[in-house]
Amino acid sequence: MTYLDANATQPLRPEARAAVLAALALTGNPSSVHAAGRAARRVLETAREAVAARFGAAPADLVFTSGGTEANALAIHALGAGLRLIVGATEHDAVRAAAPGAAVLPVDGHGVADLDALARLLREGPALVCLMLANNETGTLQPVREAAALCRAAGARLHVDAVQAAGRIGVDLRDLGADSLALSGHKLGGPQGAGALLLAPGHTLAPLIAGGGQERGRRGGTPALPAIAGLAAAAAQTAPPLAPHAALAPLRDAAEQAALAAGAIVIGAGAPRLPNTTCLALPGVRADTQVIALDLAGIQVSAGAACSSGKVARSHVLAAMGLDALAGEAIRVSLPWNAAAADIAAFAAAYQAMAARLSRRAA
């Protein structure tokens, strides 16, 4: 099988696997004061320091969570309390579900947020703006630095979902100018079960999950130490010069060329995108039909965002881009950190064969 669904989850990096196994060998609870507890605490705080340094925050301003979904929800719950919410039209469902009734920030045909519209929305009063750094379906990059400047000028806050961007492009909270930033371990090549919320200095958080005072009272529950250790190890492997992020772009481009030759449309090609991600629409052919056909040919891709029920639904991202006719006809190909030219050759052959067969049926 050829795995090209890294935006759903990355293959586990060997360094992360080793860190998980080492943490599993520890018995202590990081909150215990005896020797075993102190050993576990050292692993936890070493991971905190590493992840914070990697993504531009102070260790004291990093809260470990169960993943990106919880990190996003915690930011909206705490930083958005008492404020109007403004949410990008192409945000992940983890953000949209945590911000019911939010004003919607529109995007253009490439999926890029309309900053003039943001400026108008900010004139309506204090707000928390949620704008992802990179879209999970199309790979489109958002003008977060420019949005942050608009928010500062208006006295608003900005939360950035950086789940897909982290490890694929440069991500630094200080450089972006945001108030908070969400990460997920398994998108970096770590295990599922750990993520983080990074905060700019000066922010206090009311917990979304109350408990025994863990994470400085900002997130209750015993930390998932093995998953956190794996997150830190994976994050370290994405830091330059270890991870040449741009090296995946030529492989992605080769996949796109093969798909274009078969009649596909590349969604968002006119905007800056993640180097590992392409969204390919095949007019007249349902996305779920494409995913199944490619799976039978040994190629694992997805349609839209991964979800727990496994269903394939019409993409709200593509609909927000004004691509209603294609919203149910696009698949996402997202290259993992260990992708190789042979994977792209296998995809090209399978995609072209599928397109020829299914396009004839659609006609």
DSSP state of 206: -
Q: Which of 130, 151, 279, 307 is catalytic?
A: 307
Alpha helices in the chain (DSSP H): 14-24, 35-54, 68-79, 93-98, 115-122, 144-154, 173-176, 225-237, 248-261, 287-296, 316-320, 341-362
Phi, psi of 104 (to 5 degrees): -100, 125
Residue 307 is among the residues annotated as catalytic for this protein: yes
* 3-state secondary structure at position 130: strand
Alpha-carbon distance of 270 to 228, in angstroms, equals: 37
Give CA separation, 315 vs 102, 115, 130, 279, 321, in Å: 19, 23, 19, 11, 10
Alpha-carbon distance of 289 to 361, in angstroms, equals: 12
DSSP state of 10: P
Tokens of 137: 């379906």
Alpha-carbon distance of 188 to 12, in angstroms, equals: 8
Active site residues: 307
